[in-house]
Structure 1
Amino acid sequence: MSAELFDQSLLDQLSRAARANPRLRQNHNLHTSPDDPVQRFFNAIEPGSYVIPHRHLAADKAETLLMLRGRIGLILFDEQGQITATHVLAPTSACSGFHLRPGCWHSVIALESGSVFFETKAGPYLPLTAAERAPWAPAEGTAAAATFEADMRQAFI
């Protein structure tokens, strides 16, 4: 039987990869296939990374996130795109993670460099559908997305 150990070196490597990635984030998957029944992975995210507000509609697609290092902001939205709640997540803070039920509009932003979290949700992996991407949020990779991400960041200042 073999074991994969998770040390600070792995998290450092993942953060370096996120900084080098144009999307400013990088996964380290523990599941072996997109078809696995449980998706488990580390996700490094850097300030400026735009995670389009989205929701998961399938009844079995609840999402759980636990901070390992750094700080991220969780943003919850209503159907019209108005922010309904914000939470700062950090490993040693009052709030170190979340569990979101399906249908909840949300996004995350990195509040400091080197932020890494562990995420799990039911598989198989399915790309977001049009109904799961917020119609009121700009598409990733656009100039408007950078402005939208900066606006989300203002909720934490």
Structure 2
Amino acid sequence: MDLQVINQDLLNSIIDKAKSSHRLRMNYNLHSDLSDKCQRLLNAMEPGTIMPIHHHKVAEVYILLQGRIRVMTYDEKGNEISSVILDPKEGNYGIQIPENTWHSLEVCESGSVIFEVKEGPYIPHEIGGMLNIEK
């Protein structure tokens, strides 16, 4: 078993891939398989990436390792009901999003990276759905 060190070199590598991706984000899976019971990944994101309003049937945790993001939640009609700025420099490090909560995020600073955890196996999130919206 190899240890996976999460350091600045790894973050920089993922950030570089995010910057050159048409989606302006890049995942780096720490879990070995999409069927794993615990999905763990780093997600590097750049301003301008599109994160559609979506939800999961399980809770999800974001820990912001660097950068600045805004996490928004929505009601079933697509109205924003809450907004939280995550910024380690200001002491806001992460957020737990309850199961079945419609949410999205906005990247406020280049080089933003979150550590994301949710129960597996991987199931594609529901986008829009009854909201019928894309953000």
The match for 1:104 is 101
In 1, the alpha carbon distance for the partners of 2:24 and 2:33 equals: 23
The answer on 1:4 being equivalent to 2:4 is yes
The residue correspondences of 1:31-46 to structure 2 (distance < 5 A) are 31-46=31-46
User: Residues 23-44 of structure 1: CA distance to partner in whole angstroms, max 9, x if unpaired?
Assistant: 1100111100000010000000
1:90 to 79, 87, 90: 87
Please tell me the root mean square deviation across aligned C-alpha atoms, in Å. 1.2
Count of equivalent residues: 133
The match for 1:133 is 127
In 2, the alpha carbon distance for the partners of 1:80 and 1:95 equals: 28
The answer on 1:67 being equivalent to 2:64 is yes
In 2, the alpha carbon distance for the partners of 1:94 and 1:137 equals: 32
Q: What SS is found at the alignment partner of 2:4?
A: coil
Q: 1:85 deviation in Å?
A: 1.0
In 2, the alpha carbon distance for the partners of 1:136 and 1:73 equals: 22
In 2, the alpha carbon distance for the partners of 1:126 and 1:104 equals: 15
Unaligned runs of 5+ in 2: none
TM-score by length of 2: 0.93
TM-score by length of 1: 0.80
The match for 1:141 is none
Which one has the largest radius of gyration?
A: 1
Amino acid across the alignment from 1:37: K
Percent identity among equivalent residues? 38
Unaligned runs of 5+ in 1: 139-147, 149-157
Q: What SS is found at the alignment partner of 1:51?
A: coil
Amino acid across the alignment from 1:124: P
Amino acid across the alignment from 1:97: G
